[in-house]
Amino acid sequence: MKIAMIGTGYVGLVSGAGFADFGHDVTCVDIDADRVARLKQGEIPIHEPGLGELVKRNTTVGRLHFTTHTVEAVAGAQIVLIAVGTPTGEDGSADLQYVLEAARQIGAALTGYAVIVTKSTVPVGTSDKVRAIVASVTMHPFAVASNPEFLKEGDAVNDFLKPARVVIGADDPRAIDLLRDAYRGVMRTGDRIQVMDIRSAELTKYAANAMLATRISFMNELARLADAVGADIEAVRKGIGSDPRIGAKFLFAGAGFGGSCFPKDLRALLHTGRENDVPLQVVDAVERANERQKKVLGERVLAHFGGNVAGKRIAIWGLAFKPETDDIRESPALTVIEQLRAGGATLVGYDPAAMPNVAAQYPGLIELATDAYAAARGADAVVLVTEWHELRHPDLARLTSLMRGKALFDGRNVWTPQEVRAAGFDYYGIGRGRTA
Ligand code: NAD
């Protein structure tokens, strides 16, 4: 089957290469000519484990192509997926300009029947808008469908190739058959495809992200309470996560959530609620709790230094919004950096993958070091914001000899407080009791 993928970002590139791996002939389009040129040369523009190999495997056998021309990709394609960005608009709603422009370009490029699928996260009703735009520019028959993507950055390839489920929102039987065929690669281990109406599919994506974010904000609020009452949120987490009705995932207290999805999707969902006169109070609280939480780590550092970090040298370990990605969109590290910079601290950052993005998007924001220990050299404090594997078990003896001060801030509760204290450091976690 011939498939066109519009947009080669985190979702478009991973799923485009994934569909090629299922045996389809996939052409990925992007308006970013530089990105396409790099992809054509076999360079992967984003950090995503396993993606380089997946792309290489499928370009080598001629099943995966890249172009800047929508017309070239869409001609003869039976399925055209839209995977462009849906950032937050001025009023908090999802800005649909990229999706609707892509729809117009697709409509103008159709050469026969195709299913036009929104893979981008879009508010309920967007497929109707896509349908209207395409209909206004083409004489060819077509169907629209929604196929929200649930992959998570850092494990996106696995998530795409072995999804927990694939949600297809469609009302055209031919479109449903084509999409089932597109996903034949995930059918080996049973039917994971859920077919529903388009509006339910669109809402399912927001519901999933809002639920996951709710768990995190809930734990973050309890972590603040644990600090106040002298309890350890890590013990509480294990205590509730072992209950099968609750489950262990997404219960980690930390420096707040960021990234390109949760914050913007919560805002868009709240906007949809307002538009429909259904105030979403739980979602609203989740967002507010997270905005509060993103400041907790920086406040803890400030408190340690008696409210004055002027002249202090502070290492920031981890800049990406989570491990195994180079994505820094709405990263909690940016909030911590802002707080400490405002207080006059000198900051030195290290991240295994995100430093090129920090340097490109925020030039001069923070000094960048070649490795974690270089960042810690001469530092009064080390603040762990993103729990990359290589930062989970620091060489404490080495830090003792390198650092000027002795304060370690564990924004993700991955270090063992007793070990850190035994090595002569002050340990600060999130929600680990009055002294931690
Ligand atoms: P991204 O910003 O990484 O990539 C979007 C790409 O689309 C860019 O490369 C851009 O140049 C390109 N583009 C924009 N307009 C185009 C056009 N008309 N033709 C061709 N290319 C065009 O975005 P992303 O992170 O991949 O997210 C895409 C969508 O998927 C969003 O709606 C997002 O909410 C959703 N989503 C993202 C994730 C994630 O983890 N990143 C997970 C699930 C869903």
Q: What's this model's pTM, rounded to 2 decimal places?
A: 0.96
Q: Which two tokens stand for residue 271?
A: 């906007």
Report CA 266 to chain centroid distance, whole Å.
Answer: 13
Whether the domain at 2-197 and the domain at 229-436 fall into the same CATH topology: yes
Q: Select from 384, 429, 379, 414 the least CA-distant residue to 400.
A: 379
Average pLDDT score over residue span 334-351: 98
Q: How far apart are CA 15 and CA 161, in angstroms?
A: 9
What is the position in ligand 1's atom list of the atom closest to the CA of 35?
Answer: 9
Q: Residue 419 is encoded by which pair of tokens? A: 């070990």
Pick the residue whose CA is nearest to atom 12 on ligand 1.
7
CA–CA gap between residue 4 and residue 64 (Å, rounded): 10
Catalytic residue among 261, 301, 320, 336: 261
Which atom of ligand 1 is closest in space to residue 13's alpha carbon? 26
Atom 20, ligand 1: which residue's CA is nearest? 30
Q: What is the rounded CA–CA span in Å between residue 356 and residue 370?
A: 12
Residues 75-111: pLDDT tens digits? 999 999 999 999 999 999 999 999 999 999 999 999 9
Q: Where exactly are the structural domains of the chain?
A: 2-197, 229-436
CA 35 to ligand 1 center in whole angstroms: 13
Give the whole-angstrom CA distance, residue 102 versus residue 117.
Answer: 11
Question: Is pLDDT of 234 > 80?
Answer: yes
Closest CA to 4 of 96, 87, 112, 156: 112
Q: Which residues contact 432 (CB under 8 A, 6 or more apart)?
A: 226, 227, 232, 233, 234, 413, 417
Over pLDDT 90: what percentage of the chain? 97
Q: Do the Cβ atoms of 168 and 201 come closer than 8 Å? A: yes
Pocket of ligand 1 (CB under 6 A): 6-12, 29-32, 35, 83-86, 98, 101-102, 105, 120-121, 149, 151, 153, 260-261
Q: Which residue has the tokens 């950032």?
A: 87
Considering the chain, what is the average pLDDT of its residues?
97
Q: Which atom of ligand 1 is nearest to the CA of 68?
A: 20
Kindly tell me if the per-residue pLDDT of 182 is higher than 90. Answer: yes
Contact predicate 113/141, CB 8 Å: yes
The DSSP code for 149 is -
Residues 354/327, Cβ–Cβ less than 8 Å: yes
Active site annotation includes 28: no
Q: Could you tell me the distance, in angstroms and rounded to a whole number, from the CA of residue 255 to the centre of ligand 1?
A: 26
State mean pLDDT over 218-239. Answer: 97
Burial class (CB in 10 A: 0-12, 13-18, 19+), 306: exposed
Cα(351) to ligand 1 centroid in Å equals: 23
Question: Which residue CA neighbors atom 27 of ligand 1 most closely?
Answer: 85
Q: Render pLDDT for 383-398 as a digit per residue (tens, 0 to 9).
A: 999 999 999 999 999 9
pLDDT at 434: 59
Q: What is the mean pLDDT of residues 322-343?
A: 97
E strand or H helix that includes residue 128: helix 126-137
- In order, the DSSP letters of 188-238 are TTS--EEEE-HHHHHHHHHHHHHHHHHHHHHHHHHHHHHHHHT--HHHHHH
192-207 average pLDDT score: 97
CATH number of 229-436: 3.40.50.720
Model confidence pLDDT, tens digit, residues 149-179: 999 999 999 999 999 999 999 999 999 999 9
Looking at residues 27-48, what average pLDDT do you find? 97
DSSP lists the bridge partners of residue 383 as 316, 409
Amino acid in the structure at residue 33? A
In angstroms, how far is CA 317 from the centroid of its own chain? 19
Does position 334 have pLDDT exceeding 50, yes or no? yes
Q: Which of 70, 59, 86 is nearest to 29 (CA)?
A: 70
pLDDT value for 187: 75
* Alpha-carbon distances of 324 from 11, 84, 133, 154, 355, rounded to whole Å: 15, 22, 38, 4, 13
What b-and-e string marks burial along 331-370, b requiring 16 or more CB atoms within 10 Å of the CB? bbbbbbbebbbebebbbbbbbbbbbebbeeeeeebbebbe
Residues contacting residue 315 through CB under 8 Å, at least 6 positions apart: 347, 348, 349, 350, 369, 372, 375, 376, 379, 381, 382, 383
Which pLDDT does position 189 carry in this prediction? 64
* Nearest atom within ligand 1 for CA of residue 150: 43
pLDDT above 80: residue 376: yes
Amino acid at site 69: H
Neighbouring C-beta atoms of residue 236, cutoff 10 Å: 18
How remote is the CA of residue 99 from the centroid of ligand 1, in Å? Answer: 9
Identify each DSSP E strand in 379-433 by its residue range. Answer: 381-384, 407-410, 426-428
218 pLDDT higher than 50: yes
Band of pLDDT at residue 436, cut at 50, 70 and 90: very low
Q: Which residue has the tokens 């050469």?
A: 111
**Whether residue 433 has pLDDT greater than 90:** no
- Could you give the percent of the chain with pLDDT greater than 70? 99
**Cα 43 to averaged position of ligand 1 atoms, centre (Å):** 18
Mean pLDDT confidence for 227-253? 97
CA 184, 185, 186, 188 torsion-angle sign: positive
78's torsion region: left (phi>0), alpha (psi -120 to 50) or beta?
Answer: alpha
Rounded to the nearest 10 degrees, the angle between the axes of helix 233-241 and helix 198-229 is 140
Q: Whole-angstrom Cα distance, residue 345 to residue 426? A: 19
CATH fold, domain 2-197, is Rossmann fold (3.40.50)
